Every structure is written in C-alpha cells, then in structure tokens.
Amino acid sequence: MISVVILGAGNVATHLFRGFSLAENVSVTQWYSRNLTTVEQYKNEVDITDDLSDLKVADVYIIAVSDDAVAKLSSKLEFENRMVVHTSGSVGIYDLDKKHNRGVFYPLQSFTKGAAMDFANVPICIETVDKKSYPLLKTLAKNLGSPVQKVNSDQRRVLHLAAVFVNNFTNQLYRIGHEITESEGAEFDMLKPLIVETAKKIEDLSPYRAQTGPAKRHDKKTIKKHLKQLDDNNHHKAVYELLTKSIQKTHGRKKL
C-alpha cells in the first residue's frame, strides 16, 4: 500500500484524489489546501488540513499547486528525506527543495475540475533525482491505470510546449471555425464529426501522411477564393496565410 499526501486543491489535485481513491494499492492519507473550504466536501473521505505543520507521514507528497508556488511550498515542508514530487510540465525538478527526495509526476492531459477523466488516457511522465525512487512513482501511476513514461526535464519541457500547439492552439482553430461559420448562419455543430475524425486519424497515420487540402495540393484557385472570403477579417486571414505557408514548408513544392 502506497500512502500519499496531496497538496493543492485545483484541477489536478482533485482528479488525482479521485483517481487514487479508486486505486487498490494507494491510500490518500491526507489532503492539504491553504484554503480549507475548497476540500471541505471531502472531509468524510479523507483527513483534510490547511496547516503545513500538521502534515502526516506518507510515502509520497504530491504538490499540485500553481507553477509559481511549487518551489516555495516545497521549502516550507517541515520534514526531510521524504519523497516530494510536483505535477508541472514546466517547473524544473531542482526547483523542489533539496532537503527532499525529489521527483516529478507530470500528467500529460488537460484537466478541468468538472469534467470526468479516465486515467487510462493520461500518460504520466516521471522523473526522479534518485533513480532508486523511480519504481515507487511508476507503481503509483500504474495504480491510476495510466501509461507511464520516464521523461527527463528537457523532454518534459518539450512535451509541455508541444501540448500548447496540439491543445491550446488547436482549440483556437476550433474557435475560428466557430466564428467563421456562425457569422454566416452556418452551424458549427456540423464540423464536430470532422474535428473528432481529424484527431483520430493520426492514431494510425503520422500527421505528415494525414495531411490533405488546398495548401498541400498547392491549389492556388481555392486558396485565393478562401482568402477573399476572409477579406473582412485580417486576423483570420493572417492565420490562414501562415498555416498555409507552414503546410507548404512541410510538404515542399508541388511536383510538376
């Protein structure tokens, strides 16, 4: 049985609490939040506290607070030589106070408190300063039902950056699709099956091979028509032009 203390009460902390509660070989010993009201509703399921000097002994302490608060919170923990991990894609492992046995337990997904999440779809990226601690974190992730990957700090930073492209930026393209359709009385809902299909397609095919459309075909006539349609929105036009150029850079010149 692995005992865990969760610190923080945001999106990630809440999902981890739920995930560990379902796990057979993990028990959540305590849940710390600086603001007790945020965890009050769980007080019958777990010991809650807002007092760092009151923390119980556990195998792993998981700091799931805002990136900027990770380092300071780790230094305020009043014990030494215990396993302390954070859950951030961009905070360094050495930002944790060196009195601890340090690690990273980064879940590569987009969490929101309200929406359900199956941990089978949450790859956990693990890093440890002391390599002897890796198996413990691996077992912890396996107990969530998550795929696990050993990932060093450089790789983690790069995954986090790539996640911005495939998650935040992709979502903004959906938003532009929404703006374009609704402005002409068309229904954005009609695009949803295409959106899901586009995401699923790359499960078997590389994004390189999955590419289609006027940019890749260097179909100048259609591109020109589209730019004309976007004439009254310079901003959407700039996105269209840059991503068309990007596709053409990736796929090279049209063969004649």
Nearer to ligand NAP, 25 or 212 (CB): 212
Candidate ranges 19-27, 32-40, 53-61, 231-239; the one touching ligand NAP (CB under 6 A) = 32-40
Do the Cβ atoms of 141 and 120 come closer than 8 Å?
no
Considering CB under 6 A, how many residues would be counted as binding ligand NAP?
Answer: 24
CA distance 144 to 107: 11
Choose from ligand NAP, its own copies, none: what does 73 bind? Cβ within 5-8 Å by kind.
Answer: ligand NAP
Q: Does 216 bind ligand NAP (CB under 6 A)?
A: no
Torsions phi, psi of 154, nearest 5? -65, -45
> Does 69 contact ligand NAP by CB under 6 A?
yes
Burial 31-41 (b: 16+ CB within 10 A, else e): bbbeeeebbee
Please tell me whether residue 153 binds ligand NAP under the rule CB under 6 A: no
Nearer to its own copies, 39 or 151 (CB): 151
- Residue 52 site contact among its own copies, ligand NAP, none (CB < 5 to 8 Å, cut-off depends on kind): none
75 binds, among ligand NAP, its own copies, none (CB under 5 to 8 A by kind): none
Q: How far is the CB of 38 from its own copies (least distance, A)?
A: 19
Position 222 contacts ligand NAP (CB under 6 A): no
Q: Which is nearer to its own copies, 41 or 206 (CB)?
A: 206
* Main-chain phi, psi angles of 198, to 5 degrees: -60, -40
111 counts as binding ligand NAP under rule CB under 6 A: yes
- Tell me the residue nearest to ligand NAP as measured from the CB: 10
Task: Determine if 226 is a binding residue for ligand NAP (CB under 6 A).
Answer: no
10 binds, among ligand NAP, its own copies, none (CB under 5 to 8 A by kind): ligand NAP
Q: Strand order in 60-63's β-sheet?
A: 48-49, 26-32, 2-7, 60-63, 83-86, 101-107, 124-128, 148-150
Give the pairing of strands 101-107 and 124-128. Answer: antiparallel
The encoded tokens of residue 60 equal: 């792993």
- Applying CB under 6 A, which residues contact ligand NAP? 8-13, 33-35, 38, 64-67, 69, 73, 87-89, 106-107, 109-111
